[in-house]
Structure 1
């Protein structure tokens, strides 16, 4: 009997160790969900759109799209969430350029056919390459806009290179807080290699901050976005009944108004 108990305990411990090891080894496959595949040309998405290449400090060349607007009041650096590619943000670019704003749709390393593998450190280099491009090309104040994971990316950037305004859509407190909600059976905070501490970073940002979130978000709980806003002393825009990936967060009026208001562009 005792021998069976020892064997059973050993098997259970082995299974737990295998689960934890797998979660550690493959975690980035769960966090980052890039899509490659054929993409339209930037000019097909919006007349005047440009295919641009961003050079990172670690030697990567990242394909992205730039939509310049003559005499733009501001240029918007769009840092996307963890899934898809830049084609998913085409409606956002159309809506923002219609408001007189230039737009850069960044695709991170590993996304949209770009080389490299995504990581917290890698995305920090990618967004810096995007910011440097806009400083050279835009000739206008910069607004950083981040979606979900991208909120963490641009917030960290803003601590070192302040924008005219920072707009965060569905930001989380940190990656572990989201992960623990979805994987409550794992010690997520111990296992994670990437932290993305949005709340800690946003408290150090000097620029005006706006937080946009959905009241029915099933991926990033609304209370986490509100915690980020509180840490920043930010203006908040709650989109009633909206879930994380609803059309309201593609080109909905509340989102577009929040970005345009942050840029100083006239309201519509």
Structure 2
């Protein structure tokens, strides 16, 4: 009997090791989901749009879209979530420029035809390159808008370079917390290479914070978004019935109003 049990235990151990090893090795392919090749020219998306090149501190040249508005009262740095490319955020740029705000749509390294591979440290450099571009190009007060994972990116930036306002759309408290919600059978916090501690950074960001989230979010538990707002001492705006990728959370009235209210 003992001889039969031991091989079974060994097989179980091997399976666990393989599962954990695969999760560790492939985690960034699960976290970062770029899609499509290089987007079209900015001018083909919105009249007056410009293609911009962002120079990162580690030597990458990233393509982005800049939509200037004459006489703009502020400029909005839009940090996207973990999927797609900047073309998906064009409706938000259209809505914000129509309200007198200049907009920069960032694509991270590895996204939208850009070189490099995304990591937490790399995205921190990318968003700083985006801020540097706006500071040099506009001289305007800056607002940061982060979508989901992008909320963590701009919250971290706001600690070092506070904006006049910070809008976080569907933020998670940290990457391990949202990972644990989807993979409760894995020791996510031990496995992750990237932390993205949104709540921790938002709490010391030194700027007014508004959190917008959907009550039916199936990707980021709504309680995590509310926790970020609480940690930041900010305002929470719940969009009833909205799921994570619903259009109303892209350029809906609550999202646009949250940005314009801080401008």
TM-score bracket for this pair, using the shorter chain length: over 0.9
The CA deviation string for residues 98-145 of structure 1, in whole angstroms up to 9 with x for no partner, is 000000000000000000000000000000000000001122100000
Contact 2:107 2:114 in 1 (8 A): yes
SS at match of 1:210: strand
Cα distance, 1:253 vs. partner?
0.6
Residues 118-137 of structure 1 mapped to structure 2, 5 A cutoff: 118-137=118-137
CA RMSD of aligned residues (A): 0.6
- What are structure 2's unaligned runs of at least 5 residues? none
SS at match of 1:207: coil
- Would you say 1:74 and 2:83 are equivalent positions? no
> Are the structure 2 counterparts of residues 262 and 124 from structure 1 closer, same or farther at C-alpha, using a change threshold of 3 Å?
same
Match of 2:3 in 1: 3
- Would you say 1:151 and 2:168 are equivalent positions? no
Match of 2:239 in 1: 239
Residues 201-216 of structure 1 mapped to structure 2, 5 A cutoff: 201-216=201-216
Contact 2:39 2:113 in 1 (8 A): no
> Are the structure 2 counterparts of residues 153 and 80 from structure 1 closer, same or farther at C-alpha, using a change threshold of 3 Å?
same
Match of 1:266 in 2: none
Aligned-partner Cα distance in 2 for 1:74–1:234 = 20
* Runs of 4+, deviation exceeding 6 Å: none
Aligned-partner Cα distance in 1 for 2:116–2:160 = 24
Return the TM-score normalized by structure 1. Answer: 0.97
- Would you say 1:95 and 2:95 are equivalent positions? yes
Residues 4-83 of structure 1 mapped to structure 2, 5 A cutoff: 4-83=4-83
- Would you say 1:261 and 2:261 are equivalent positions? yes
Question: How many correspondences in the alignment?
Answer: 263
Aligned-partner Cα distance in 2 for 1:236–1:24 = 34
Return the TM-score normalized by structure 2. Answer: 0.99
Match of 1:164 in 2: 164
Aligned-partner Cα distance in 2 for 1:61–1:32 = 19
SS at match of 1:212: strand
Cα distance, 1:36 vs. partner?
3.0
Cα distance, 1:163 vs. partner?
0.3
Cα distance, 1:200 vs. partner?
0.8
The CA deviation string for residues 215-265 of structure 1, in whole angstroms up to 9 with x for no partner, is 1101001110000000111011110110000011121011001011111xx
Residues 166-185 of structure 1 mapped to structure 2, 5 A cutoff: 166-185=166-185
SS at match of 1:122: helix
Aligned-partner Cα distance in 1 for 2:243–2:41 = 30
Residues 219-234 of structure 1 mapped to structure 2, 5 A cutoff: 219-234=219-234
Cα distance, 1:38 vs. partner?
4.6
> Are the structure 2 counterparts of residues 70 and 231 from structure 1 closer, same or farther at C-alpha, using a change threshold of 3 Å?
same
- Would you say 1:85 and 2:85 are equivalent positions? yes
- What are structure 1's unaligned runs of at least 5 residues? 264-268
Aligned-partner Cα distance in 2 for 1:216–1:114 = 33
Aligned-partner Cα distance in 2 for 1:203–1:164 = 15
SS at match of 1:26: helix
